[in-house]
Amino acid sequence: MLRRVAIGAALACILGGTAYAVDENVDNACTEQLSAAEEAVQNKIDANALSDDEAEQVNQLLDQADALCTEGNFKDASAALAQVNGLIGKK
């Protein structure tokens, strides 16, 4: 009986570690996308390619995407980042 418990605990640790690694990779991808978008936005702001209203709208979307990445909602974060890229891509 003790042997079964030990084997079960070992499997749970191994499988849990693998699942955590997958989540961490997704989180890293979200963070990388966010960083790239922030850099692109900053470049547009530095080049005076965005109006104040556009810059404010883009920064709100970046804040939203950052919060969604932090919450683990990567699908919605990617959608927000796509909006950012669409807005700065027009300029």
For 17-76, what is the HEC assignment? Answer: HHHHHHHHHHHHHHHHHHHHHHHHHHHHHHCCCCCHHHHHHHHHHHHHHHHHHHHCCHHH
The tokens of 74 are what? 């990567």
Sites in the chain below the pLDDT cut of 50: 5-6, 18-23
Q: How high is the pLDDT of residue 19? A: 46
Q: What is the spatial distance between Cα 62 and Cα 42, in angstroms, rounded to a whole number?
A: 11
Q: Is the pTM of this model over 0.85?
A: no
Given a contact cutoff of 8 angstroms between Cβ atoms, the answer to whether 50 and 58 are in contact is yes
Q: How high is the pLDDT of residue 89? A: 85
Q: How high is the pLDDT of residue 9? A: 55
Q: How high is the pLDDT of residue 15? A: 53
Q: How high is the pLDDT of residue 60? A: 94
Q: How high is the pLDDT of residue 5? A: 46
